[in-house]
């Protein structure tokens, strides 16, 4: 994380990544600016805040904890049908993570802005599941056996 200084190396790299998505406007240095750059894509404008981190984030909610002030400032940018808000984080080894800040969620996105789909976890079903079929509420197999 940077302590009061703009992450200049990260901003230069972020500008190159942003140019792949559209025209880019870098914001002048200012501590109160809610975003560092604006990407003018074909169908929307993306307001981006760039940060550095000392670690990789495994969960989008870690972003809210670590960068709650920056996420809060980004959240003040009006969200319309043609705007988006993203927080870009650069780790010390040069790997980037991108997060979309919505009204109700934080989603990890790819560098082109597409949402990374969640992996569906399998549900394990055991074969010995007993159904409640009797009118009294007893389940089959609940009564003790006489052979014990």
- Supply 76's token pair: 């003040």
pLDDT over threshold 80, residue 127: no
Using the CB atoms, write b or e for 73-107: b if 16+ within 10 Å: bbeebeeeeeebbbbbbbeeeeeebbbbbeeeebe
Domain assignment of residue 69, yes or no: yes
Domain assignment of residue 88, yes or no: yes
Domain assignment of residue 32, yes or no: yes
Domain assignment of residue 123, yes or no: no
Residues 130 and 100 sit within 8 Å (Cβ to Cβ): no
- In terms of Cα–Cα distance, which of 128, 53, 62, 130 is closest to 94? 53
pLDDT over threshold 70, residue 2: no
Q: What is the CATH number of the domain that holds 12?
A: 3.40.1350.10
CA dihedral 101→105→106→107, nearest 10 degrees, is -110
Range of the domain at 87: 8-109
pTM of the model: 0.73
Greater confidence, 13 or 93?
13
Mean pLDDT of 115-139: 62
Mean pLDDT of 70-99: 92
Please count the structural domains in the chain. Answer: 1
What pLDDT does residue 105 have? 85
Where do we find the tokens 């569906």?
120
Domain assignment of residue 27, yes or no: yes
């Amino acid at each position: 994380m940077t302590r009061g200084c703009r992450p200049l190396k990260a901003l230069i790299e972020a500008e190159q990544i942003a140019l792949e998505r559209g025209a880019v406007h870098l914001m002048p240095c200012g501590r109160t600016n809610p975003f560092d750059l604006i990407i003018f894509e074909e169908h929307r404008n993306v307001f981006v805040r760039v940060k550095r981190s000392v670690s990789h984030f495994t969960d989008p909610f870690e972003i809210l904890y670590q960068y709650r002030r920056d996420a809060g400032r980004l959240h003040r940018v009006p969200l319309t049908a043609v705007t988006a808000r993203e927080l870009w984080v650069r780790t010390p080894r040069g790997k980037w993570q991108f997060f979309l800040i919505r009204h109700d969620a934080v989603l990890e996105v790819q560098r082109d802005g597409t949402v990374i789909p969640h992996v569906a976890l399998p549900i394990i079903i055991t074969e010995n599941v007993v159904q409640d079929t009797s009118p009294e509420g007893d389940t089959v197999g609940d009564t003790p056996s006489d052979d014990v």
